[in-house]
Structure 1
Amino acid sequence: MFSKRVILKTLHTAKKYNTPYSTKPSYIHKIGDQPLKYITIGRLLEQTAQKFGERKAVVSVHQNQFLTFSELLHKADKLAASFRLLNLEKNDRLGIWAPNLVEWYVTKMACARAGLIGVCLNPVSEAPEIQYCVNKTGIKALVCADKFKHYDYYESLLTIVPEMEKCDPGKIKSTQVPSLKTVIIMGDKNKCGTYNFHEILDLATSNDVANVQKLQDYISPDDGCSLHFTSGTTGKPKAALTNHFKMVNTGFITGKRLDLSHKHHTLCVQVPLFHIFGTIVGFMVALNHASTIVLPSNAYQPSKTLDAIKNEKCTVIYGTPTMFTDLIETQEKRKDAISAEAVLIGGAPIAPYLMEQISKTLNVSRVHSAYGLTECSGIMFESVPTSHLKHVHEHIEVKVVDESGCVVPFGTPGELCVRSYSNMLGYWNDEEKTKEMIGTDGWLKTGDLFILEEDGSGKVAGRIKDMIIRGGENISPKEIEEFLVTHPSVVEVQIIGTPHQRLGEEVCACVRLKPQSNLTLDDIATFCKAKLAYFKIPTRMEIFDNFPRTLSGKIQKFKLREMLAEKSCED
């Protein structure tokens, strides 16, 4: 079945990763024990409100507010009715540009009930980035916060929509963002050329709200409903379009794997809501399993998160590896009496060492790690309660292929490809990039170097584009990162390939150190000796106070490369 070259490579890999040699191809179709749900987000909200109307849907600690599921449905329908009165029609794009607020949840549900496509925007995006996003997706209306950190959203918008200051609300005519007609701001004060969010809620009559309820018969689970921009770790973001069906079922299966079905759970969501981790893994898990979402703060703050876990008695904690690294440091100082049942960690690769620290320091019985993509509506692999290994989700096909597109044996690294109900509909207004990502056969190329096992478990071995080639040897940065983070002086580490005249690339360790730690390149070499092959040992080290990140906590390696390149030029 396989060539001699592939068999030899497989034997080498099996020895390297201590996995059994296999002659079976890396392909799995995980058939579910329950059928997928053919339902819209709006109908799912209705069902949850009917069964658990008095249960809290969301608690915003920093706003001192909460909404029950009945209140969430009522407010979403009022806002959806108002959107329609503002001439927003089915499939129009509405941008949400705000931090973690109750209004975010209401707006997202209102989009679903009105048949609109909600565009999730990073709350710390600057004006040129918002201009790009508005024009890329043709946003017709924008709902935004008033202020956040140092951001004044109105003043920022005026730099790209100066016409707004002198026009009537809903009648914007802009040369820089021609599609944008309406801006709605969440603050207490009215701003020229905009609507006030809280006043808009009261714009619709009871008849208007009744019409929204009738509208649900004309919204299909197959309709596009959400646009998420790729995280920008590798450059210009693209907008992935997903539909009701994909979002509902990803939320259902993720929550099922988390074992949320048997009782009421309270989910501490410290990840940003605009991110797919917040929107689908947050909202859609909660709606499917009638769970309460707790928002500790408008942006990630580990001390506020610990307060919320303790005071709101959160049973599940969401976060990225970076967030949990900070949370552990804070908890080690505070030693609060907390006892959540489970953790769901995703958004970036996680080292086994960190999983052990989470379990020990945060006093949780289950640490679930997850793997997924924006382009696949969130999570595809998630660990099970009985194992820390990530196993493929139900109703998903996966395979691992080599550079020629041929399936490799189990246990052999290659590019992970996915074919499932959860694959995006495509990149908005970018047919060429969509075709590069998804073939005519429906297989989506993840770009991740992955090792799939016969039992359905798998692990990321790195990004294919991150692969370092040193003197002809292929090096996976992730393997070195997972080892170096166990050094007692290291908080975080990123391995980057930097140019080398003779070898092509050299291995550079970018490290964040613990306070009062002194670590040298010789120390790293000594630590790695006899543990890593000589060609994997870093020959360059750079110390950082902080790494460049996206708001969701992902480290932007392309920016690290740029910083190292600039430093090399200066030297």
Structure 2
Amino acid sequence: MPHDPAADPIANPAAAPRGHAPLLTASYRPADTAAPLYRHTVGQLLRTTAARRPEAIALTGIPDDGSGPRRWTYAELLAEAESIAAGIRERVPLGGRVAVWAPSVPEWPLVEYAAALAGVTLVTLNPTLRAGELTHALGVSETEMLIHADRSRAYDMAAVVSGAAASLPRLRHIVSLSDWEELRGGAALPAEDDIAAARVPAQLQFTSGTTGAPKAVLLSHRSVLNVSRLTFEALRVRDTAEVVSPLPMFHTAGCVISCLGPLWSGGTFTLMERFDPKVLLEVLRRTPGAVLTSVPTVLAALNEAARGAPGLPPLSAVLTGAAPVRAQLIAETEELFSTTVFNLYGQTELASVLTLTRPDDPLELKTTTVGRPLPHVECKIVHPGSGRVQPLGVTGEICARGYQQMVAYYGDPGASARKVDADGWLHTGDLGSMDATGTLRLEGRRSDLIIRGGENISPVSIEDVLTALPGVKEAVVVGLPDEVWGQVVAAVLQTEPGAAVDLEDVVALCAERLSPYKIPVHWFTARDLPLTASGKIQRFRVLELAVEGAFRRLGGAEGEAL
């Protein structure tokens, strides 16, 4: 797409220190295109790496039941993925969609690789989805084949699938992970050129938008592969490094950065089925020098488990992001594990990473910024109203343009056009500022999304459930600050005159209709809600009043400040 010359100021080469990129004169950073981009598929990279390091350990799964790790070499991983890919091809045509709904078991990345080899798009689903949420996701994505776990701890996933299947006519194939052998097949796999010619996206990921309806984000093979590669290269992660991930696979942080990052160097991907700080600490003890991928909530819990523990393992690097990262948390992690913490920023629509801090950044930048953009992406800060590039250091909306941005919101051209403008710039909805080196500082969010431990939560989807309650006139959901989670969900209910709300009944209803992480942990009632002159609810003021204790806590007393 062509640039707007007035909106894209050029750098000032004379002001740049020797050996560094030119200093900027406004909040626009051009793309660094020095390194070439990889233009093949996830499946092709797996084949290349397996041919180069067939006997190296590629995948280690850490089960949730306390049993021993499960391991695959690269040769075994490729053979297993090709067998499952052949079974997928017997059921789903080139370019079709195959969903995986399971916790982070090692079969998850096996299905990810199999989908790539089969030339289908992998639909990634949160294993905590409730029946209505699962049905919506499968319907919106037009999934043709579902591969699912039977249970996730106490959650009967098989029963949910059985109930949802009848309302999804496009969903023609359902296979449980417990019937793994049934997934195998003998169909011929498509050639690399055939997948490329059909422009088959690698993944369809769901995210929550400001309207409340989860959007289906299509990501290309080129985006997920190069983001993982360029992230690890920027951090100077050593070849064949082991990457330990306690993150859920349905997130790009899990299935893109953590999974595909070590694939580039023939390293090991160690996947924890479920995060437990004590178990994670033991895994890290067995893998000194590993790279840990995390979110701030994980780091805080890990550090708590590690304080006072003897013989803590050194780590090569710690990657974190998806929520604001406190400087104190970074400093403590670095001291405990003799490591460097790198702060990342991005979103699903950018295949998860836009910017990151670098090994040679000074301490102040590592602890107060989200670093500089990855290669091959332009970045600018614009005035939210006019769209013009802001002066250096002035807050505006963060926008990006490059190979890694989403293909589209599947089935929603209107939302796609609102997200990516006519010049190809993706509008993140986040506010930030840029300095002369292109380093970004986050200043807040334009949207009302709540970020709880790295999870993006749409208030509207929760409000829709709450306003259906008898006696509730209005419901406003906001994110209250929390030292552990970053933000937690809080609900303010405005009731009809004379109506009473039973907290136990409300929570029980939420448990039926919402994923656990969406259920509010703070509940308030209000006689009136702050409104604008046009009658719209002032969400920022609702948040302020909740923090100040101006609302009555449901089950508590008036005026309880947080």
SS at match of 1:30: coil
- 3-state SS in 2 of match to 1:264: coil
SS in 1 for 2:244: strand
Aligned partner of 2:72 in structure 1 is 67
1:337 positional shift: 2.4
Q: Please list the CA deviations of residues 447-506 of structure 1 after superposition, one character each: whole Å capped at 9, or x if unmatched.
A: 101111110211211112359xxxxxxxxx99xx9xxxxxxxxxxxxxx9xxxxxxxx9x
Q: The residue matched to 2:191 in structure 1 has which SS?
A: helix
Shift of residue 234 of structure 1?
Answer: 7.5
The aligned counterpart of 1:244 is 221
The 8 Å contact of residues 232 and 261 in structure 2, kept in 1 or not, is answered as yes
Structure 1, 350-359 or 132-141: larger mean CA deviation = 350-359
Deviation at 1:23, TM superposition (A): 9.4
Q: Is the 8 A contact 2:316 2:339 kept in 1?
A: yes
1:511 positional shift: 4.2
Between 1:66-75 and 1:24-33, the stretch displaced more is 24-33
Contact 2:60/2:70 (8 A) holds in 1:
yes
Match of 1:152 among 153, 156, 160: 156
Give the aligned partner of residue 281 of structure 1.
Answer: 257
Tell me: CA distance 1:432–1:392, structure 2 relative to 1, closer, same or farther (3 Å): same
Partner of 2:381 in structure 1? 400
- Mapped to 2, the partners of 1:320 and 1:414 lie a distance apart of 25
Find the residue that maps to 1:159 and give its secondary structure: helix
After superposition, the Cα gap between the structure-2 partners of 1:78 and 1:118, relative to the gap in structure 1 and judged at 3 Å, is same
Summarize the Cα distance change of 1:314–1:60 in structure 2 as closer, same or farther, 3 Å threshold: farther
Match of 1:358 in 2: 333
CA distance in 2, matches of 1:322, 1:58: 25
**SS of residue matched to 1:66:** strand
Residue deviations 1:106-156 (CA, integer Å, cap 9, x gap)? 101010011101000001111111101000111111001121111122111
- RMSD of aligned alpha carbons: 3.1
In the alignment, structure 1 segments of 5+ residues that lack a partner are 1-21, 162-173, 188-195, 468-476, 482-495, 497-504, 515-547
Give the aligned partner of residue 120 of structure 2: 116
**What is the aligned partner in structure 1 of residue 183 from structure 2?**
200
Distance in 2 (CA, whole Å) between partners of 1:554 and 1:151 is 11
The CA deviation string for residues 386-405 of structure 1, in whole angstroms up to 9 with x for no partner, is 12251111011011011221
Query: Residue 45 of structure 1 aligns with which residue?
Result: 46
Query: Structure 1: which amino acid aligns with 2:76?
Result: E
Contact 1:233 1:555 in 2 (8 A): no
One-letter amino acid of the structure 1 residue matched with residue 261 of structure 2: V
Aligned to 1:185: 176
Q: 2:133 matched to which residue of 1?
A: 129
Q: Which residue of 2 aligns with 1:325?
A: 300
Residues 197-250 of structure 1 show CA distances to partners (whole Å, capped at 9, x for unaligned) of: 23323x43xxx3xx21x5333111843120011157983311100111111111
Deviation, 1:508, is 9.7
3-state DSSP class of the match of 1:455? coil
Q: Is residue 299 of structure 1 aligned with residue 300 of structure 2?
A: no
**Distance verdict in 2 for CA 1:326–1:74, change over 3 Å:** same
CA distance in 1, matches of 2:156, 2:37: 43
- What does residue 349 of structure 2 align with? 375
Aligned to 2:100: 96
Counterpart-to-counterpart distance in 2, 1:348 and 1:510 = 12
Instruction: Say if 1:372 and 1:510 are closer, same or farther in 2 by CA, change over 3 A.
Output: closer
Q: Distance in 2 between matches of 1:53 and 1:253?
A: 24
Query: Displacement, 1:364?
Result: 3.0
CA–CA distance in 2 between the matches of 1:555 and 1:134?
20
CA contact (8 A) 1:114 1:215 kept: no
Distance 1:135 1:508, change over 3 A: closer
Distance 1:510 1:378, change over 3 A: closer
Instruction: State the alpha-carbon separation in 1 of the partners of residues 525 and 252 from structure 2.
Output: 30
Q: Indicate how the Cα distance of structure 1 residues 564 and 290 shifts in structure 2: closer, same or farther if over 3 A, else same.
A: farther
| Equivalence for 1:223 | 200
Kindly tell me: are residues 281 and 406 of structure 1, through their superposed partners in 2, closer, same or farther at Cα, counting changes over 3 Å?
same
How many correspondences in the alignment? 448
SS of residue matched to 1:139:
coil
Q: Specify whether residues 420 and 158 from structure 1 end up closer, same or farther in structure 2 by C-alpha distance, changes over 3 A only.
A: same
The answer to whether residue 359 in structure 2 is matched with residue 385 in structure 1 is: yes
Using the alignment, how far apart are the partners of 1:369 and 1:512 within structure 2?
Answer: 18
Would the aligned equivalents of 2:26 and 2:391 in 1 still touch at CA under 8 Å? yes
Q: Separation in 2 of the partners of 1:314 and 1:56?
A: 16
> CA offset at residue 415 of structure 1?
0.3
- Partners of 1:231 and 1:282 lie apart in 2 by 22
- Cα separation, 1, equivalents of 2:355 and 2:374: 5
**What amino acid is the match of 1:236?**
A
Q: Say if 2:54 and 2:73, in contact at 8 Å, map to a contact too.
A: yes
SS of structure 2 residue aligned to 1:160: helix
Inter-partner Cα distance in structure 2 for 1:315 and 1:565:
50
Q: Normalized against structure 2, the TM-score is what?
A: 0.74
The amino acid across from 1:64 in the alignment is P
Question: 1:271 and 2:252 equivalent?
Answer: no
Q: Report the equivalent of 2:31.
A: 30
In the alignment, structure 2 segments of 5+ residues that lack a partner are 1-22, 453-458, 460-475, 486-509, 528-545
CA offsets 1:10-33 (integer angstroms, 9 cap, x no match): xxxxxxxxxxxx993210013132
